[in-house]
Amino acid sequence: MNYHRLLRVLAICGVTIVHTAVAQVIESQDSVTDYAPNTNVQCPDLSTTSLIRVFTPQNQTLHPKETEYVETRAKDVLPDAWNAWLGGDDARHGYNISDFQGNFPKVGMAIPGGGLRAALYGAGCLGALDARNDSAKAAGTGGLLQVTSYLTGLSGGSWITGSLFFNNWPTIYDMVLGNGKDMDGWLLDFSLVTPDGINLFSDMNQAFFGSLLWSVIAKAFKGIDTSMTDPWSRMISYHFLNQTSRENFFTNDSAHGAGQLWSNIPLIPAYQQHQTPFPIVVADSRPVGSNLTTALSLDPTVYEISPLEFASYDPSLSVGMNLTYAGTHLSNGKPENGSACVTGFDQAGFIMGTSASLFNQLFDFARNTISSFSKTDGDGLLYVLSRQLREVRTRADDVANWPNPFNGLKNSTFQDSDKTWLELLDGSSNQENVPYSPLFVNARGLDVIVTIEGSADDSVNNWPNGTGLLFTALRQSTILRASHQQFPPIPQTPDAFIQTGVNSRPTFFGCDPKQSPPEYPLVIYLPNSPPINGDDPVTNTQTFTLTYTRKHVSLFLSQVHNNIISGFTPNANTPDPNFGTCLQCAAIDRARLKVNTTSSPIPRSAICTQCFQQYCYDPLNPPSKIALPGRKLAFVNPDPVGLDKLGGFFAKHKFALIGGLAGLVALLGAMIGGLIFWKKKKTNQQAYKRVNDFHEEDAPWKRYSDHPRAESYELPDHRGGY
Ligand SMILES: *[C@@H]1O[C@H](CO)[C@@H](O)[C@H](O)[C@H]1NC(C)=O
Ligand SMILES: *[C@@H]1O[C@H](CO)[C@@H](O)[C@H](O)[C@H]1NC(C)=O
Ligand SMILES: *[C@@H]1O[C@H](CO)[C@@H](O)[C@H](O)[C@H]1NC(C)=O
Ligand SMILES: *[C@@H]1O[C@H](CO)[C@@H](O)[C@H](O)[C@H]1NC(C)=O
Ligand SMILES: *[C@@H]1O[C@H](CO)[C@@H](O)[C@H](O)[C@H]1NC(C)=O
Ligand SMILES: *[C@@H]1O[C@H](CO)[C@@H](O)[C@H](O)[C@H]1NC(C)=O
Ligand SMILES: *[C@@H]1O[C@H](CO)[C@@H](O)[C@H](O)[C@H]1NC(C)=O
Ligand SMILES: *[C@@H]1O[C@H](CO)[C@@H](O)[C@H](O)[C@H]1NC(C)=O
Ligand SMILES: *[C@@H]1O[C@H](CO)[C@@H](O)[C@H](O)[C@H]1NC(C)=O
Ligand SMILES: *[C@@H]1O[C@H](CO)[C@@H](O)[C@H](O)[C@H]1NC(C)=O
Ligand SMILES: *[C@@H]1O[C@H](CO)[C@@H](O)[C@H](O)[C@H]1NC(C)=O
């Protein structure tokens, strides 16, 4: 019997006092409390190293380890990957690969937000672009993933990004559906917020909430302000990180991803072998003090989080911070107390949660409601928050609270230069739903950008309509002129995206630049679209659908797969047998312009010229959606009965259920356990001067708040009642 079980049994017997003794032991094992960062850590010697990298948009630099990673991959891995994809004897793209003299385009891939739908759409696409999938390989699309140098994710797109890394870059079907061995899958039949179904007070939901809170309170007791983003981050971790199975879901027998750090991605075997693109997650920010509860304008700083740095390449900031020490307040690049740095703040779950922190637009503090989520999920979130607030005060409940490491820097342009905290938000908060900004950074020099477009723009049927691209194009042509590449020509309104049909089939943008080097990258746009064969779509689910049956997931992935390997045939409902070749044409095209030839550049091959006529967007000769007949737009749930049955599933599988009485005892245990934990940490916490400075009192439930809390901020008792 392990200690956790022992604990539970003792708890059932009401012997809560033993909790204290055993708690010591538990802490040395993997525990959900590993979510707490380490405070009072000795800072690096700043006379020899720096935690901050400051540059300018004119002289932009990348972190040297990023450059090293990308260059090593380009040298050691990508040539073989390109050859494996394009070099076969049966290659139909019409080029002799050796003519490119090893000048391959630099490719990035972006996976946007949209909750589980966007994550699943990303999964389906990546599977269809992965050389490890036989049917993708046979179609010619499988291989693009292998030649990619960068992968960016935002919100739901950050969840699949994190999942790929923290499962060591597996194949998609193993990762999402489990492989019966070391991978348990995303377990999407357990709802994200209320995994045991709609009754918040069921024993299993309560045990789950208790585990989340134990994590969050452990962090808060280190003196670091938490928010709704923290329990949300923990919920995400259960599905997308690698330590949760169907068997341990409702237990504390696993840390459920607590303690796994984004800055430890470089230790993952696939990364060490340069088998993966370099991952980056995007988050937005609201200017501190603005209290914005609406969509942001394009002005506020956009951040990126790589395994190396928390950074912004916006001209107004142009600074990166060593991610290992994120969580440390710095002023002019220096910690105030060299013995009080913070590590372990960059929890993988918290990075994914930050990028998906959309609560500021959804909370209605006056009415204590949360919009967009289903009633059950909204109630679940508010319930957890209310219990959290009972134990700890926070400074802003509706944003991801990050200590500001950029205080004092770029004070004439950076919006939060004089602030102590940053308020980070979902990466789509400024309506740039596709995480493009890292991929257009000048210094990264990307040639091709693949857009795995799973956004739901149209509010009736949840298909993309170009909104994210239009906002990015606008931000790049105004705010980011000095720092980023420009966006290639696209239809100028969402309506034009729809009328031209480019939102409903693969499209290539920017095929024919006028300048050399090209004035923009080539964008391969792969939108979530109705099945080409006229089947009912199952992939245009709502962003706030937070439960999927296994059958639906499986059908979702295969529908995306079939669409991606098929391209489209104008005026028909049949696949384009050339699409794999056309995708290869798009990926390799910029290599023609990189080769040093004594005469003119390598001409585009005949078949690629033909492909480009069909797939490239030509603003002077736009296509029409009329060429895409017989598409069904309305979502049809492929497994409605399965969803109804989920309640029954839980009724039959209450393996972890320990009975109503035990549930109550466990809840009391949580409170008591929390108090013990707090007492143990109190010494530590007092020593953590830097953060305590910002709190009125030591007692963790009476924390300082930047935003004096209006009465209506408090959630009503009936939501919380123990
Ligand atoms: C700096 O932090 C250390 C470790 O937490 C603490 O012991 C020390 O008192 C702090 N120094 C100052 C000047 O606050
Ligand atoms: C650009 O930045 C790098 C690294 O900070 C520096 O070594 C170099 O001198 C700078 N170049 C110019 C032209 O300022
Ligand atoms: C490709 O080019 C190389 C070098 O010019 C040549 O040796 C090879 O035969 C060519 N391959 C094909 C299939 O034409
Ligand atoms: C989970 O991921 C962590 C971090 O990448 C790794 O150390 C660990 O071995 C993985 N565990 C399993 C069961 O795959
Ligand atoms: C995990 O531990 C916490 C704190 O003791 C408790 O509140 C929660 O109910 C436990 N969860 C499970 C599943 O046992
Ligand atoms: C962060 O700082 C530590 C200590 O100086 C150093 O070992 C590590 O390489 C740094 N990481 C990055 C990504 O710069
Ligand atoms: C901005 O930073 C500069 C250089 O560090 C400093 O001289 C100036 O006083 C700062 N201005 C403000 C308003 O803080
Ligand atoms: C496009 O999507 C946006 C939301 O992203 C929506 O507000 C707008 O109405 C849509 N436009 C069209 C023409 O569908
Ligand atoms: C390849 O993708 C198809 C999607 O239709 C899937 O059924 C199959 O299991 C995948 N194969 C592998 C090896 O992942
Ligand atoms: C191409 O030519 C330029 C300038 O002549 C040179 O700097 C570059 O290294 C050459 N590239 C290759 C791949 O030979
Ligand atoms: C934001 O909220 C704080 C605290 O309620 C208040 O002091 C501040 O004036 C508000 N800012 C704006 C721009 O409303």
- Indicate which residue's Cα is closest to atom 9 of ligand 1: 687
Per-residue pLDDT band for 596 (boundaries 50, 70, 90) equals confident
Mutate to test the pocket of ligand 3, among 96, 97, 595 (most ligand atoms within 8 A of CB): 96
* Residue with CA at minimum distance from ligand 3 atom 14: 96
Indicate if the pLDDT at residue 686 is higher than 50.
Answer: no
Residue 106 has pLDDT above 90, yes or no: yes
pLDDT at 646: 60
Least trusted range by pLDDT, from 188-202, 378-392, 655-669: 655-669
**Residue 166 · residue 242 · CB < 8 Å:** yes
* E strand segments, 485-521: 507-509
Helices of type H across 392-466: 437-440
Confidence of residue 722 (pLDDT cuts 50, 70, 90): very low
Above 50 in pLDDT, residue 326? yes
Q: Rounded CA gap, 335 and 278, in Å? A: 29
Instruction: Check if the beta carbon of residue 200 is closer than 8 Å to that of residue 380.
Output: yes
Q: pLDDT class for 649, splitting at 50, 70, 90?
A: very low
CA of 417 from ligand 7 middle (Å) equals 10
Residue 24 pLDDT grade (very low, low, confident, very high; cuts 50, 70, 90): very low
705 confidence band (pLDDT: 50, 70, 90): very low
* pLDDT class of 27 with cuts at 50, 70, 90: very low
Q: Which atom of ligand 8 is nearest to the CA of 495?
A: 13
CA-angle at 265, arms to 260 and 270, nearest 5°: 125
288 C-alpha to ligand 11 centroid (Å): 9
The answer to pTM > 0.95 is no
CB 394 within 8 A of CB 401: yes
Measured CA to CA, the distance from residue 722 to residue 715 in angstroms comes to: 14
pLDDT band at 486 (very low <50, low <70, confident <90, very high): very high
Question: Which pLDDT does position 364 carry in this prediction?
Answer: 84
Q: What is the pLDDT of residue 149?
A: 98
Is the Cβ–Cβ distance between 391 and 701 less than 8 Å? Answer: yes
16 touches ligand 5 (CB under 6 Å): no
- Determine contact, residues 509/518, Cβ cutoff 8 Å: no
- Which range has the worst mean pLDDT, 13-22, 62-71, 148-157, 389-398? 13-22
Residue 295, token pair as written in the block = 């969509």
Segment 522-533 shows an average pLDDT of 98
Identify the sign of the CA torsion 566, 568, 574, 578.
negative
Ligand 2 mutation target, pool 58, 61, 442, most atoms within 8 A of CB: 61
Q: What is the pLDDT of residue 645?
A: 62
Domain ranges of the chain: 62-186+433-627, 643-704
- Ligand 4 touching residue 268 (CB < 6 A): yes
- Percent of the chain at pLDDT > 90 equals 81
Q: Quick one: average pLDDT of 37-62?
A: 97
Q: Write the pLDDT tens digit of every residue in 433-471.
A: 999 999 999 999 999 999 999 999 999 999 999 999 999
Which residues have a Cβ under 8 Å from the Cβ of 324 and sit 6 or more positions away? 261, 263, 343, 346
Residue nearest to atom 4 of ligand 11 (CA): 707
- For ligand 6, what atom is nearest to the CA of residue 263? 13
The helix/strand count (H/E) of the chain reads as 23, 18
Tokens at 275, concatenated: 């088998």
